[in-house]
Amino acid sequence: MKTEAPRQVVTDKESPARNAGMALSGVEADVTTRLRTKAELEQARGLMDTVCERGNLKLAYQRVIENKGAAGVDSIGVAEFKDHLKQHWPTIKAKLLAGSYIPSPVRRVDIPKPQGGVRTLGIPTLTDRLIQQALHQALSPIFEADFSASSYGFRPGRNAHQAVKAAKRYVAEGRRYVVDMDLEKFFDRVNHDLLMEKLSKKIGDRRVLRLIRRYLEAGMMAAGIVTPRKEGTPQGGPLSPLLSNVLLTGLDRELESRGHAFCRYADDCNIYVKSRQAGERVMASLTRFLADTLKLTVNAAKSAVARPWERKFLGYSLTWHKVPRLRIAPASYQRLENRVREVLKGTRGRSLTTTISELNPLLRGWMAYFRLTETKNTLEELDGWIRHKLRCTMWRQWKRPYTRATNLKKAGLTEERAFRSAFNERGPWWNSGASHMNQAFPKSFFDRLGLVSLLDTMRRLQCVQ
């Protein structure tokens, strides 16, 4: 299953940099500790009381505000949310405790996938995001103890880097084939009845169960029309990741009972085996298991039994060596190139310093996620390509040959070479990669302007580790 290195979306979906550090803060740890002790009393006093506890709600509010994100169908944004709560929260809380609260529909947002197609997000209102976050904080301690050690996604203290390291370890141990399974539209196909059955085994408060069911069935609004939902838990709300882990724990337990080595990050699961024949058997049997037991469909076109270095997992891949090394999957650096191109569009009217200041946050965030890479060639090539693009921008901005010659002279070229280069009648891309531009504007020039070097950043990050 191919989950891109993880990126920032409209609401609560974590970016690759946030996924790399989901440890609990001190405040969260205190709240979680209290919730664990209260979970034992949930049958007696009701889990909804824990959800609506002041400390739990305060933490949930902080999380929602920090995540920012777009407004839902009520058009109430972060700036207006506090005043809205002051006026309406007493009524909302009373309805929650009475079990009569009805969530608003979610706002439909379609975003393009890197591999083509679209991913549909359901954006809840800020009020519903607050309630979902409070539910998540109360439910997580109850279900966390039952989750698999091989599950890494959307869990406190666990992250994508741990999953990638585990995958590397399995391959180093001799499991040189991977069963890469892609679940077809997982978040759109979650069976509500099956999920609610699993939740009811741990949750005794019927108010909480009814509320979760209402969130699952909340309609999706697009162009003013609300479409009801009978399956799926759309991405975009704080509760969906936890619910996906609750459902897919059934897959984890099945894999563990068979003794398989695997890594699962949300709906992205790779199983590591020692032969292609074993992999084909696992693929066939798990396809049946998922269809019969969890009501999920494997996307045959995107799933495969292959060598690990032929597939990608969470944006990474592996080398073929006996002791494999982590490398950045080609699709991941292709996405970076596409994003760099977007930043550089329409740069003719901007200074080079301004352009670099816009590029740097993108480069830092990307390298923070891919700091585990153990191959340097790709980063050197990307660094060189980015500088090439910036030189091309400079050449285009100069426009006239005399301006180009003047700037090349200022950069240290002789007058004869500067004019010969400026009047060579070659195109911008050729000139920006030619020796005269590389000599006039070497790496040290861009270093002085503060351009982030991916290779240098990787070295610094690895020294800190």
Instruction: Report CA torsion sign: 411, 413, 419, 422.
Output: negative
Task: Write out pLDDT tens, residues 248-274.
Answer: 999 999 999 999 999 999 999 999 999
- Model-wide pTM > 0.85: no
Spatial distance between the Cα atoms of 123 and 107, rounded to a whole number of angstroms: 5
pLDDT band at 26 (very low <50, low <70, confident <90, very high): low
Condensed to tens digits (0 to 9), the pLDDT of residues 288-304 reads 999 999 999 999 989 99
Residue 21 has pLDDT above 70, yes or no: no
Rounded to an integer, what distance in angstroms lies between the CA atom of residue 353 and that of residue 348? 12
Provide, rounded to the nearest whole percent, the portion of the chain with pLDDT above 90.
Answer: 72
Looking at the predicted structure, is the pLDDT value of residue 133 above 90?
A: yes
Q: What is the CA angle 173-178-180, rounded to 5? A: 145
pLDDT at 114 over 80: no
Q: pLDDT at position 45, please?
A: 52
Mean pLDDT across the chain, nearest whole number? Answer: 88
Q: Which band of pLDDT confidence, cut at 50, 70 and 90, is reported for residue 3?
A: very low
Cα(184)–Cα(1) distance, rounded to whole angstroms? Answer: 9
Whether 175 shows a pLDDT value over 90: the answer reads yes
pLDDT greater than 70 at residue 2: no
Cα separation, 447 vs 328, in Å, equals 24
pLDDT of residue 25: 52
Mean pLDDT of 337-363: 89
Residues 6 or more apart whose Cβ sits within 8 Å of residue 123 = 10, 11, 69, 70, 71, 72, 106, 107, 108, 109, 236, 237
Tell me how far apart the terminal alpha carbons of the chain are, to the nearest angstrom. Answer: 29
> Rg of the chain's alpha carbons, rounded to an integer?
26
Q: What is the pLDDT of residues 55-100, one digit of tens each?
A: 999 999 999 999 888 888 999 999 999 999 999 999 999 999 999 9
Asked if the model's pLDDT at residue 9 lies above 80, the reply is: no
Q: Burial of 388 by CB count in 10 Å (0-12 exposed, 13-18 middle, 19+ buried)?
A: middle
Instruction: List own/partner pairs for 452-457 with CB under 8 A and 24 or more apart.
Output: 452/359, 452/360, 452/363, 452/364, 452/367, 453/383, 454/363, 454/366, 454/367, 454/379, 454/382, 454/383, 455/376, 455/379, 455/380, 455/383, 457/363, 457/364, 457/367, 457/371
> In this predicted structure, what is the pLDDT of residue 350?
85
Q: What is the dihedral of CA 349, 354, 355, 359, to 10 degrees?
A: -160
Question: Band of the pLDDT at 167, cuts 50, 70, 90?
Answer: very high
